[in-house]
Amino acid sequence: MFDNKETFKSIFQRNLVSKLGKPLEEATQEDVYHVLGSMIREYAGQDWATSNQGFKQRQDKQVYYFSLEFLIGRLLGNNLLNVNELELVRDSLADLGFSLEDVEEQEADAGLGNGGLGRLAACFLDSLASLGYAGHGCGIRYKYGLFEQKIINGNQVELPDNWLEKGNEWEVRRPDKKVEVKFWGRVETQEENGRYQFVTKDAESVVAVPYDVPIIGYGHPHVNTLRLWSAEPKRESSLDTPSNYYGYLDYSRSVESISEFLYPDDSQYEGKLLRLKQQYFMCSSGVQSALRTFNKLGLSYDRLPDKVAFHINDTHPTLVIPELMRILMDDQGYGWDEAWDITTRTVSYTNHTTLSEALEKWPVSMISKLLPRIYMIIEEINKRFCAMLLDRYPGDQERITHLAVIAHDQVRMAHLAIVGSHSVNGVAALHTEILKEREMAPFYALYPERFNNKTNGITHRRWLMHANPKLSHLITETIGNAWITEPGKLNELTTVSQDASFQEQFRAIKRGNKERLAAYILDHTGTAVNPDSIFDVQVKRLHGYKRQLLNILHVMHLYNRLKNDPTFDIVPRTFIFGAKAAPSYYFAKKIIKLINNVASTINQDKAVNDRLKVFFLENYSVSLAEKIIPAADVSEQISTAGKEASGTGNMKFMMNGALTIGTMDGANVEMAEQVGEDNMFIFGLRADEVLNYVHSGSYRPGELVSQDNRIREVVEQLIHPGAFCHREGEFWDIYDSLVAHGDEYFVLRDFAAYAEAHAAIDVAYRDIPDWTRKAVLNTAQSGIFSSDRTISEYATDIWGIEPVSGYWKG
Ligand SMILES: *Cc1c(COP(=O)(O)O)cnc(C)c1O
């Protein structure tokens, strides 16, 4: 792209003048960001056009990854890395008096997702482009992404995330590619030449305008598209109500609200009308636009499954199924059976959860009014599915009601997704087994060939090369650069895991990352951190099943011991938390408050604060994750076994050489298989043990409170004013959840095992060479968790595609 530093500097300065009318001397960091961003975007534009032309000429099968969430983060650093200009630009900017790291801070995070599910979609886009697959994202261009979190007096306060305020360098508005989406109205049946035609009358039209973001593949000129849809009013609609211009303004405002906010609920179903509108808006726009591209090939729609794959990320985009049916039947004239065959062969579905509170079900009354034709089709799908079931299980009405797509006046989206697709995958081996054996067992009995596992992954380009450049360099110096395109080769580090000089460099890098995070913490909290302490980190969404409560109760216990036992000797420990709670999740917000109370007491107590500190870092996001994870010594992955489908945070930490303290849950199980249980700290109930307790009803948390003094002490501290509870009964709700309401997440049951695992960490960390060996082995065995591996599996097993362009090897 730029031959050398001098060409870069002169092109850059020319752009500064032409784009902003500023000479270098007057440029701010923000100016540098905007100009640099636009230069990279324009440069990628060439390859973007060439890629699209190639897809068309070769008639490559196109994958469309539908997701209500893409948690992208910042793009400047990642794009510079992928076009292989990161070093040159960093050095050139330094010559001009700017730090690339500071310039990168000018970019707003694209926070168009809640957590793991949205981040997975973003990692997948990076892998699709980097491996040279024709695979694109389809989503919504929310005007406001996930809320910004402030902590005020220890409580979470939410601010709107105005991420577009300063413009978005990466997107291109494409009004020429707009489509129309229809809501409300009524379906009329007309008979034409003996065929029924369904026409929706009096519908409300919404214009969907795409904003395209180029997704640049690493090291080669392959660029895919993330197409994000924005809702706009249809100007001509004002002609429908000529006498009432105010009516038009109301309509206009209601349309714009469709793409205004991301719903901030993670692993929680919200049955709001606006959310349903968002789902159909995205599905209809994405399907129409993909079919328009397909149409240009001039092929029969019979060939659609050979040329197009629609993947739905969780059930949020399930309406892709009836929408494709509608278009095939009502617009393309197909009969039901052919349309159904084409649709099911085109669509595939990923399940992300077994939590019942997260399973989407929409009231029939809501769907049938908002989307009358779509509802008719869902009804027909249900009717035919139930008829098939009746045939197969005569008289078994109970089973049929249990499996039906529509029951008890609700549409069950997971059932619709399974029935209407050819592939259903879980996201880790354990999760897929639980789906097959438990949650979806009757569906597995019906369609065993549809179920498969695709263990999640993370892009090692963002999470290792970009977030931890020094470690990346050390790895390349040690084993060469083949690991970059074949991350499995990271395992070649195994041979140096005990090498003293390698270990020393590895530790120096971790130490440098810890110093950087310590500076961030000092800057943001005013409290100093000892970079020689163990950095013990739990960062993820706040949720009961993720058990931040177990972590903080154990911290309270450590404090109690330090206060009461002068002989108690621990390696200094810094506990770091980061977590957003859904704004309506009362219990989760109480836990944030508890963590902050504990942090403030401990950090101010001179008797312990040379050995123990606790921080809650506000506004956990992708860019904050990139600062925290490379600095972690210990990764907390402590969900109640059976509840975390996979986790991806766990993989990021592992890749950066942190040791995991974790339960046998989600992908932790496969991490343990890779690196060995000796190189992790595994504790607690197994998934089947949790299930047995639930079935037998025999768990008695109250007994643990009376038997275990450590537990009794911390539980009492939740309600009696003292070190952690600042007014009588401040944490009654947490206390009750544990003691009175049965401790749903087995926090107290796992407390003793967890404390023991932490004691083992304390012992292990004292043996620095052996700890380092374990850390190196974690990095070495993490290659399989690159999303490149995951995406190749999706490509081969589910989508039936091959790379259309290969890696650049240089
Ligand atoms: C990776 C990531 C997550 C998912 O973390 P888990 O520990 O798997 O829940 C959530 N949020 C952000 C910002 C992430 O980068």
pLDDT tens for 561-602 read: 999 998 999 999 999 999 999 999 999 999 999 999 999 999
Q: Is 622 in the pocket of ligand 1 (CB under 6 A)?
A: yes
Which class for 335: exposed (0-12), middle (13-18), buried (19 or more C-beta within 10 A)? Answer: exposed
Q: What is the DSSP letter of 108?
A: P
Tell me the C-alpha distance between 115 and 352, whole Å. Answer: 12
pLDDT digits (tens, 9 = 90+) for 439-459: 999 999 999 999 999 999 999
Measured N-to-C along each axis, helices 751-766 and 768-780 cross at an angle, to the nearest 10 degrees, of: 110
Q: What is the DSSP letter of 658?
A: P
CA of 624 to the centre of ligand 1 (A): 11
CA of 647 to the centre of ligand 1 (A): 7
Q: What is the pLDDT of residue 276?
A: 98
Nearest CA to ligand 1 atom 3: 116
Among 513, 517, 536, residue whose Cα is nearest residue 525: 517
Ligand 1 atom nearest the C-alpha of 116 is 4
Nearest CA to ligand 1 atom 9: 540
Ligand 1 atom nearest the C-alpha of 652 is 1
What does DSSP say about strands 155-161 and 681-682: parallel, antiparallel, or unpaired? unpaired
Give the mean model confidence (pLDDT) for residues 758-776: 98
Q: Is 37 in the pocket of ligand 1 (CB under 6 A)?
A: no
Task: Classify 167 in phi/psi space as left (phi over 0), alpha (psi -120 to 50) or beta.
Answer: left
Q: What is the pLDDT of residue 241?
A: 63
CA of 540 to the centre of ligand 1 (A): 5
Nearest CA to ligand 1 atom 7: 649
Q: What is the DSSP string of 297-314?
A: TT--GGGHHHHEEEEEES
Q: Are 361 and 269 in contact (CB under 8 A)?
A: yes
Q: Is 479 in the pocket of ligand 1 (CB under 6 A)?
A: no
pLDDT digits (tens, 9 = 90+) for 145-196: 999 999 999 999 999 999 999 999 999 999 999 999 999 999 999 988 888 8
Q: What is the pLDDT of residue 192?
A: 81
**Cβ atoms within 10 A of the Cβ of 772, count?**
21
Residue 312 has pLDDT above 80, yes or no: yes
CA of 120 to the centre of ligand 1 (A): 9
What does DSSP say about strands 451-453 and 361-363: parallel, antiparallel, or unpaired? unpaired
pLDDT grade for 807, boundaries at 50, 70 and 90 = low
How many CA atoms within 13 Å lie on the side-chain side of 222?
23
Helix or strand holding residue 215 (H, E): strand 204-216
Phi, then psi, of 16 in degrees rounded to 5? -60, -45
Q: Report the number of secondary-structure helices (H) and strands (E) in the chain.
A: 33, 25
How many CA atoms within 13 Å lie on the side-chain side of 294?
23
Q: What is the pLDDT of residue 808?
A: 43
Give the mean model confidence (pLDDT) for residues 125-138: 98
- How many Å from the N-terminal Cα to the C-terminal Cα in the chain? 14
Residue 240 has pLDDT above 80, yes or no: no
Q: Are 260 and 250 in contact (CB under 8 A)?
A: no
Starting at the earlier edge strand, list the strands of the sheet with 659-662.
612-616, 573-578, 534-539, 634-637, 659-662, 681-682
Tell me the C-alpha distance between 115 and 69, whole Å. Answer: 9
pLDDT digits (tens, 9 = 90+) for 182-192: 999 999 999 88
Phi, then psi, of 135 in degrees rounded to 5? -140, 130
Q: Give me the CATH topology for the region 59-74+109-453.
A: Rossmann fold (3.40.50)
Tell me the C-alpha distance between 489 and 214, whole Å. Answer: 29
Tell me the C-alpha distance between 179 and 234, whole Å. Answer: 11
Q: What is the DSSP letter of 84?
A: T
Angle at 450 between CA 392 and CA 433, to 5 degrees: 100
Give the mean model confidence (pLDDT) for residues 418-430: 98
Helix or strand holding residue 187 (H, E): strand 186-192
What does DSSP say about strands 573-578 and 534-539: parallel, antiparallel, or unpaired? parallel
Residue 809 has pLDDT above 60, yes or no: no
Write out the two tokens for 470.
């020094």
Q: Is 115 in the pocket of ligand 1 (CB under 6 A)?
A: yes
Catalytically annotated residues: 352, 540-541, 546, 648, 652
Query: Which of 70, 460, 541, 577 to probe ligand 1 with, by most ligand atoms within 8 A of CB?
Result: 541
Write out the two tokens for 592.
């944030």
Tell me the C-alpha distance between 447 and 190, whole Å. Answer: 36
pLDDT grade for 242, boundaries at 50, 70 and 90 = low
**Cβ atoms within 10 A of the Cβ of 470, count?**
15
Helix or strand holding residue 281 (H, E): helix 273-295
Q: Is 267 in the pocket of ligand 1 (CB under 6 A)?
A: no
Q: Is 662 in the pocket of ligand 1 (CB under 6 A)?
A: no
Tell me the C-alpha distance between 129 and 214, whole Å. Answer: 10
**Cβ atoms within 10 A of the Cβ of 64, count?**
24
Among 788, 78, 223, residue whose Cα is nearest residue 484: 788
Q: Is 621 in the pocket of ligand 1 (CB under 6 A)?
A: yes
CA of 648 to the centre of ligand 1 (A): 6
Q: Are 111 and 580 in contact (CB under 8 A)?
A: no
| Residue-averaged pLDDT of the chain | 96
Ligand 1 atom nearest the C-alpha of 71 is 13
Question: Is the full-model pTM beyond 0.95?
Answer: yes
Measured N-to-C along each axis, helices 586-604 and 548-564 cross at an angle, to the nearest 10 degrees, of: 30
b/e string for 649-688 if b means 16 or more Cβ within 10 A? bbbbbbbbbbbbbbbbbbbbbbbbebbeeebbbbbbbbbe
pLDDT grade for 3, boundaries at 50, 70 and 90 = confident
Strands (DSSP E) contained in 341-490 are 347-350, 361-363, 406-407, 410-412, 424-426, 451-453
pLDDT digits (tens, 9 = 90+) for 468-514: 999 999 999 999 999 999 999 999 999 999 999 999 999 999 999 99
Q: What is the pLDDT of residue 316?
A: 98
Q: Is 540 in the pocket of ligand 1 (CB under 6 A)?
A: yes
Among 623, 794, 787, residue whose Cα is nearest residue 124: 787
Give the mean model confidence (pLDDT) for residues 633-643: 98
Measured N-to-C along each axis, helices 732-739 and 709-717 cross at an angle, to the nearest 10 degrees, of: 150
Q: CATH 3.40.50.2000 residue ranges in the chain?
A: 59-74+109-453, 460-792
Task: Classify 709 in phi/psi space as left (phi over 0), alpha (psi -120 to 50) or beta.
Answer: alpha
CA of 308 to the centre of ligand 1 (A): 30
pLDDT grade for 237, boundaries at 50, 70 and 90 = confident
CA of 654 to the centre of ligand 1 (A): 13
Overall CATH class of domain 460-792: alpha beta
